[in-house]
Amino acid sequence: MMFPMPMPQMPQEIIDAVAANPEGFADAMATGMEAFQGAMEGGGDMGAAFEAMGDVMGPIMQDMGVSPEAFDAAGDCVGAAVGGGMHMGPADMGGPEMGACIQDAVDLMLPEGVDMPAPVMDACMDMGQGMADAGCMPHDVAGEMMPPPGDPGYPMPCDANGDCIVPPGDPGACPPDACQPPPMDGACADMGGGMMPPEGGYDHPPMPPDCGMPPPMDYPADVAMAPPADMGEGYIDPAANMDPGAAPPPADMDGGMGALGDALGGPIGDPGPEPMVDAADAAIGAAMDGAMDQGGAPAAPADPAGDPGAGDPGAAMPEDPGPEPDPSAGMG
């Protein structure tokens, strides 16, 4: 199986709730799953079951400090991530396999180096088993979790007619720049079999000329989202080519999901500013270049212990370039 790429981000409010009370968050997910199963047992369809889940979890999430806007944004994220994974997963996935899909989807939505607390991961596994116990098949679940093909929030590549080019259960049909494998050390890897790509990977076809990737997901302006996870060398974020002044495309992720995604979330972190060039290093390099231009010998290599002149007793130390410039100077 495979997951969509890039994966959606997660709201900071969800992260804060998980970090502050992982057991409480897991209990809220379990309560929502009970509502889902009750709706299914009462003869409701999956769409109604997801709505029942959201109706129960919404107030609990608000008590944990999660706003309705962040709750809805989390639903959009999980609907795209988990739904896309189940769409490309085997048709005969049972409860443990669906739980593993949910766990790995959540893991891929987190920034690199951040882990979801164990109680919430256990609740993700229980959610997959609960869906199976309610008689839900994975591809049907995927169809309810995602909006319809052609919708701006649909996570899979579509042709010019708005039809998905990846048939359910056929991850090898997904172009390589539109999908990614489960984590090598994740829950799907523990399941083995069709939950992981074959040795050497799938023989992915190229993206057709008339095919379009979904635009970056749109979120409420007041909902802080996690930075995207590291997608590896060579990955280009489609949003990087957008006009910074252009308004983001709308995203409508209601599509039957309305609620399962509202139950999940993941921790995030601030990547921080990019490192600045060290002024002292730049000055030393300039001094060495000047010595070479005047016919002098280059300075000896720096000693690993940190003494720049240790390799040559007669080597002159470079002139102190002075304090680094204040990057905020002149900014008012």
pLDDT tens for each residue of 231-279:
443 333 333 333 333 333 333 333 334 444 443 333 333 334 444 444 4
- Read off the pLDDT of residues 156-178 as tens digits, 9 standing for 90 and up: 999 988 999 999 999 999 999 99
- Read off the pLDDT of residues 5-42 as tens digits, 9 standing for 90 and up: 989 887 778 878 898 999 999 999 999 999 999 999 97
What local confidence, expressed as pLDDT, does residue 249 receive? 37
Contact between residue 80 and residue 6 where contact means Cβ atoms under 8 Å apart: no
Burial class (CB within 10 angstroms; exposed 0-12, middle 13-18, buried 19+) of 309: middle
Mean pLDDT of the chain: 76
Phi, psi of 212 (to 5 degrees): -125, 140
**Strand partners of residue 3:** 180
Among the residue ranges 75-84, 153-162, 205-214, 274-283, the one predicted with the least confidence is: 274-283
Residue 195 gets which letter from DSSP?
G
3-state secondary structure of 322: coil
Q: Which of 91, 151, 90, 101 is nearest to 264 (CA)?
A: 101
Model confidence at 46: pLDDT above 80 = yes
Question: For the residues 56-65, what does the mean pLDDT come to?
Answer: 93
What local confidence, expressed as pLDDT, does residue 213 receive? 79
Alpha helices by DSSP H, 150-242: 187-191
Distances (CA, A) of 177 to 5, 215, 235: 7, 14, 8
Q: Which of 234, 227, 223 is nearest to 271 (CA)?
A: 227
